[in-house]
Chain A
Amino acid sequence: EDKVVQSPLSLVVHEGDTVTLNCSYEVTNFRSLLWYKQEKKAPTFLFMLTSSGIEKKSGRLSSILDKKELFSILNITATQTGDSAIYLCAVEAGLGFGNEKLTFGTGTRLTIIP
């Protein structure tokens, strides 16, 4: 059974701090790893990672994948109160060319204190 584990489960930091969120996975036939931000109900897409060692960056957020050690990290620098959210990691796995379901971790709840 595919498994995705995120840590920490919860994190509280002060505005301006840098945070690192972790995601490890055990899946058969890995295809991609995705990060989403969930503030209320709708998870919003942040990154998709398919190749090891290539950093994806968007503003203060960045992410990298290690397919040998089976993990990914999401970094947020100079955090702001608007970064407070649940960050979800998900993995897509499968053999076929077609689309596959996502397996999610339980998420990391990030709280930024002003």
Chain B
Amino acid sequence: GAGVSQTPSNKVTEKGKYVELRCDPISGHTALYWYRQSLGQGPEFLIYFQGTGAADDSGLPNDRFFAVRPEGSVSTLKIQRTERGDSAVYLCASSSGRGGTDTQYFGPGTRLTVL
């Protein structure tokens, strides 16, 4: 596609439920990133994929968070047993993956609200 797309745009769930957030990167981009942005803050890194593998998952806050990218394109961020503190905008970005100075392009995000 022309840009990074994310679905759903908004997700409201109850504490303790499981959610999945989807990211479709720019066609041909091998690098994919997930960030989380809380109100009044800049985005914070969660995980980075190069192809199908997670090259850096150091930003995942705990084991309730997991992400996959089985075919090296679409990625899903999965959150188990959601907590109110998980409420935030989850942003996905992609880049060409060629390394060096490689620009990350962001999607519109998913606003997650945990009641």
* Interface positions of A (Cβ within 8 A of B): 4, 31-32, 34, 36, 40-45, 48, 50, 88, 90, 92, 96-107
18 inter-chain pairs at a CB distance below 8 angstroms, sorted by A residue, are: A34-B103, A34-B104, A41-B108, A42-B106, A42-B107, A42-B109, A43-B91, A48-B101, A90-B43, A99-B97, A101-B45, A101-B56, A101-B59, A102-B45, A104-B42, A104-B44, A106-B40, A107-B41
Nearest CB in chain B to that of A34: its residue: B103
Chain B proximity of A95: nearest CB distance (Å): 12
Q: Is there a chain A Cβ closer than 8 Å to B111's Cβ?
A: yes
The answer to the question of B67 belonging to the interface, with a C-beta cut-off of 8 Å to chain A, is: no
B102 at the interface (CB under 8 A from A): yes
From A43, A97, A107, give the contact of B99 (CB < 8 A): A97
Residues of B within 8 A of A34 (CB): 103-104
In the complex, the number of residue pairs spanning A and B with C-beta atoms less than 8 Å apart equals 71
Chain B positions near chain A (C-beta within 8 angstroms): 4, 31, 33, 35, 40-45, 48, 50, 55-56, 59, 89, 91, 95, 97, 99-109, 111
Residues on A with C-beta less than 8 A from B100 are 97
CB pair A103 B50 closer than 8 Å: no
For B100, give the chain A residue with the smallest CB separation. Answer: A97
Besides A42-B4, A88-B42, 6 more A-B contacts (Cβ < 8 Å) are A32-B101, A42-B106, A43-B43, A50-B101, A99-B97, A107-B42
CB within 8 A of B109: which of A32, A41, A50?
Answer: A41
Complex CA distance for A104 and B106, rounded to whole angstroms: 13
